[in-house]
A and B are shown apart, each in its own frame.
Chain A
Amino acid sequence: AQSVTQLDSHVSVSEGTPVLLRCNYSSSYSPSLFWYVQHPNKGLQLLLKYTSAATLVKGINGFEAEFKKSETSFHLTKPSAHMSDAAEYFCVVSDPPTTSGTYKYIFGTGTRLKVLA
């Protein structure tokens, strides 16, 4: 089975400085990878996804991530943090297809981003 590791449970940055949230995965095949964001007491919103097209993926709100197969990483970045970016971020990897033909999605344990004024 696939697995995903988010290397930091908490990250603090100052407003206007870059954001880096790290994600490593293990996979025996070519997975799809996703980043989701969850604001306090809200549902999960897709930030961006990698599905075997361009390795540099651009998402919403200025976020982007680069798929690096040699490093098995999919780190999330943003050039300049905004107060509204404070939230929890989840890296997600897809399992290979099941016998029933669908996919399971494995979540990392999350990184809570704090943005300081």
Chain B
Amino acid sequence: NAGVTQTPKFQVLKTGQSMTLQCAQDMNHNSMYWYRQDPGMGLRLIYYSASEGTTDKGEVPNGYNVSRLNKREFSLRLESAAPSQTSVYFCASIIGLAGGRTGELFFGEGSRLTVL
């Protein structure tokens, strides 16, 4: 059982280049998330998706786009990378609990992106 899988694990880009971070989960979860982690700032939500075909902005969406391709996959795209986007990116998913209570996030191992 792979859980949440992110690719690539490491990437170096030049300013202005584009790239897509891929995320797939095999737990049949409905909701998926993209976070970025920067020192001293915890994890900040970039975008999330409640279900296939829906996406919503989080706390720091500028400079990013997302696609919820199907229930399993949720990709994050940087159209024109900037040094400020140097970060570690985490994909996560959740399963809901009965009675509307929230479950815990399941995380991928992260993708370390450096923009020169």
Query: Whole-angstrom distance between the alpha carbons of A32 and B45 in the complex?
Result: 17
Given A32-B101, A49-B104, do A105 and B33 touch, yes or no (CB 8 Å)?
A: yes
**B2 CB–A CB distance under 8 Å:** no
Interface residues in B49-66 by Cβ distance below 8 A to A read 49-51, 54, 56, 58
Number of A-B contacts (CB under 8 A): 66
- Cα distance A92–B42 in the bound complex, in angstroms: 10
For chain B, the bracket of interface size reads 20 to 34
Taking a contact as CB atoms under 8 Å apart, the answer to whether A103 and B102 are in contact is yes
> Do most interface residues of chain A lie in helix, strand or loop, or is the interface mixed?
loop
Contact flags A96-111 to B (C-beta < 8 A → 1, else 0): 0110111111111110
Q: From the candidates B31, B43, B101, name the one contacting A102 in the complex (CB within 8 A).
A: B31
Contact A110 B42 (CB under 8 A): yes
Residue among B40, B41, B44, B50 with the highest chain A CB neighbour number at 10 A: B50
Interface of B is mostly: loop
CB-nearest residue of chain A relative to B97? A51
Contact call A43/B100, Cβ cutoff below 8 A: no
List, sorted by A's number, 22 A–B pairs whose CB atoms are closer than 8 Å: A32-B101, A34-B104, A34-B105, A42-B109, A43-B90, A43-B107, A46-B105, A49-B104, A51-B97, A51-B101, A90-B43, A97-B100, A101-B50, A101-B51, A102-B48, A103-B31, A103-B94, A105-B33, A105-B105, A107-B35, A107-B44, A110-B40
